[in-house]
Structure 1
Amino acid sequence: MAASARSVLSLSAWDTGRFWGRHFVLVAKCLCSATAAARPLSAQQLAENLRAKKQEQKAKEREVPGDPVQRRVQELKRYTQQLQNVHPNVLSKALKRGILHQDKNLVVINKPYGLPVHGGPGVKSCISDILPVLAKMLYGNKAEPLHLCHRLDKETTGVMVLARAKEVAHRVHELFKTQQVAKKYWAICVGVPIHSAGVIDIPIIEKEVQGQQHHHKMTLAPNYRMENGKTMKVRPNRHAHVAVTRYQVLSSTLSCALLELQPITGVKHQLRVHLAFGLGCPVLGDHKYSDWNKLAPQKLSVGILKKLGLEKTKTRYLPLHLHAQQLILPPLASESQELNLVCKLPKFFVRSLSHLKLEIPEKD
């Protein structure tokens, strides 16, 4: 009996020792972990962690989405990033292949998506920088650089006019300035205008937005306001620019529409502002003017996302669907003729039309 009691006591003591031993090891490990966490990482460890995160991010970007539309969105994002690293010679060759018209005075190109016209912060490649290279490709090594006649937004595609001589560029610029050039744009907009055709005549002004991110935007500065149900004329803002846009609905569904736009004036971001704040129908993929108070990816309805096959988290990569479809230039001299320049829609625009069930009107 005493022997068995001693054995039980010794067993209990052994179990107790084993328990406290394990507890001590566990506490020691925790303390070591805490000490390691508190200890600052070395430069090598920081570099390795950063490298691992970058590799993980690249692996995610290399993942090919199953949906064809999302694959196209990913391609456009990659294409836009790659444009900034393309050699000027390669970019010039691409523009040369897309020439719409060429004569002794003018070169008309099809401006691609995502390529800025002028340089700026973070811009490595732009059209103005490659004009000397393009001129040499077209007219030989002694050719004078081509000259810009007007500009398009970075995200806008379509007809863009260049001049061989500075005098011709100035002449064309004056034609644009004096509203003698007929311009037609096509845009897919989110929502459908109440009237199928009309004129938007609302001045535009640039203002600073007081929000989470301080930024500047163009906005409306109307000459009228509503007071007690009556329309009252107000004093025009002296900093506002006169802005007039004709529009016509070419095709529509319940949630979106294809519009033809004719800007009578040429104010910065005029079409985007008039559609977003004037008609309440922002351009598809316009992440700047879809919301006034913040800079954020455009919010789209579940129906549009489903038609486009797009996840809500991927809308930030949706390109701006605004295309300079046609320009009609009057004769530059007595011996020249009127130029009717038409540029076909980019592939991503055509695909979106198809997915959204919007029809391209037949040619007259």
Structure 2
Amino acid sequence: MLHGHKAEPLHLCHRLDKETTGVMVLAWEREVARQVQELFRTRQVAKKYWAITVRVPVPPAGVVDIPIIEKEVQGQQQHYKMALSPGYRMEDGKIVRARSNRNAHMAVTQYRVLSSTLSSALVELQPITGIKHQLRVHLSFGLDCPILGDHKYSNWTQLAPQKLSLGTLKKLGLHQAKARHIPLHLHAHQLILPALGSRKEELDLVCKPPRYFVCSLRRLDLEMPSQDQNGDDKAGPVRAQ
């Protein structure tokens, strides 16, 4: 929490999706909150997320630069989801430019695999833009690697629990019927705020993942990153929390 007077109510400086865990910034003073909100609005805050994915992104590091649009999904249960709106499409075996949709939003996500097995990965995500459900959509529909516990974006046409392989279910100690209870494994690991007001240095905020996230890493044989002296994440064995 940013400094202020404890007698005043806390003011929220930004938001996380309700299923996402991790760093939250609050301020005592309304003016400080307004200034921090402006930093988020103008993309001056560096963000790093961790996600456990079903399957492994290929290539193991890169940038997903595909616009996103909200669409209505037709079917037995009509509902809305965020979807990709790419600028190109395949036609008769050739890549042709698609007509742009004015309702689509530019969405850019940088990613890299921190640890992986044959069937799952721990992925670091740095959103360059901030579109609703951007990370979930880019992973699921852009890289074909949905986030573990992302029941909404693991299937386009249905609202149904995420379907997992028998190997993954065995490692997690679950039956498919219980998969609906798996929480979303998306964690806001780090925020870096630039210098603000009397504070001359940037503010580096880090939040450890919740117990269930660490437990899933261990069960899936994925390694937890540990920071070296230069602040870079390096994978290492998962330790009990």
Q: Tell me, yes or no, whether TM beats 0.5.
A: yes
> Is 1:177 matched with 2:41?
yes
- Give the conservation status (yes or no) of the 8 Å contact 2:14–2:24: yes
Corresponding residue number in structure 1 for 2:239: none
In 2: Cα distance, 1:242 partner to 1:334 partner? 34
* Pair member with larger Rg: 1
Corresponding residue number in structure 2 for 1:92: none
In 2: Cα distance, 1:341 partner to 1:281 partner? 28
From the two aligned structures, give the one with the greater helix fraction.
Answer: 1
Corresponding residue number in structure 1 for 2:235: none
Corresponding residue number in structure 1 for 2:29: 165
Tell me the CA shift for residue 144 of structure 1. Answer: 2.5
From the two aligned structures, give the one with the greater strand fraction.
Answer: 2
Amino acid at match of 2:180: R
Tell me the CA shift for residue 162 of structure 1. Answer: 1.0
**Structure 1 unaligned runs (5+)?**
1-101, 106-137
Corresponding residue number in structure 1 for 2:19: 155
> Is 1:261 matched with 2:125?
yes
Normalized against structure 2, the TM-score is what? Answer: 0.91
When structure 1 is superposed on structure 2, of 225-234 and 313-322 the one drifting more is 225-234
User: Aligned runs of 1:16-95 on 2, under 5 Å?
Assistant: none
- Give the conservation status (yes or no) of the 8 Å contact 2:20–2:187: yes
SS in 2 for 1:361: strand
In 2: Cα distance, 1:180 partner to 1:103 partner? 17
User: Aligned runs of 1:207-222 on 2, under 5 Å?
Assistant: 207-222=71-86
Tell me the CA shift for residue 225 of structure 1. Answer: 1.0
In 1: Cα distance, 2:9 partner to 2:33 partner? 12
User: Aligned runs of 1:1-364 on 2, under 5 Å?
Assistant: 102-105=1-4, 139=6, 143-364=7-228
Amino acid at match of 1:256: S
In 2: Cα distance, 1:343 partner to 1:245 partner? 21
Q: Which has the higher contact order (CA 8 A, sep 6+)?
A: 2
In 2: Cα distance, 1:211 partner to 1:190 partner? 25
In 1: Cα distance, 2:10 partner to 2:68 partner? 32
Tell me the CA shift for residue 298 of structure 1. Answer: 0.2
- Give the conservation status (yes or no) of the 8 Å contact 2:140–2:154: yes
Between the aligned residues of both structures, percent identity stands at: 70
Amino acid at match of 1:192: V
SS in 2 for 1:327: strand
| Number of matched pairs | 228
SS in 2 for 1:167: helix
SS in 2 for 1:362: strand
Tell me the CA shift for residue 103 of structure 1. Answer: 4.1
Amino acid at match of 1:262: Q
In 2: Cα distance, 1:243 partner to 1:186 partner? 18
In 1: Cα distance, 2:106 partner to 2:180 partner? 31
User: Any idea what the Cα deviations from partners look like across 1:309-356, whole Å, max 9, x if unmatched?
Assistant: 001110000010000000000011254321000001110000000000
- Give the conservation status (yes or no) of the 8 Å contact 2:2–2:28: no
Tell me the CA shift for residue 283 of structure 1. Answer: 0.3
- Give the conservation status (yes or no) of the 8 Å contact 2:3–2:27: no
- In structure 2, the CA distance between the partners of 1:345 and 1:290, relative to structure 1 (3 Å rule), is same
Normalized against structure 1, the TM-score is what? Answer: 0.61
Tell me the CA shift for residue 257 of structure 1. Answer: 0.5
RMSD: 1.3
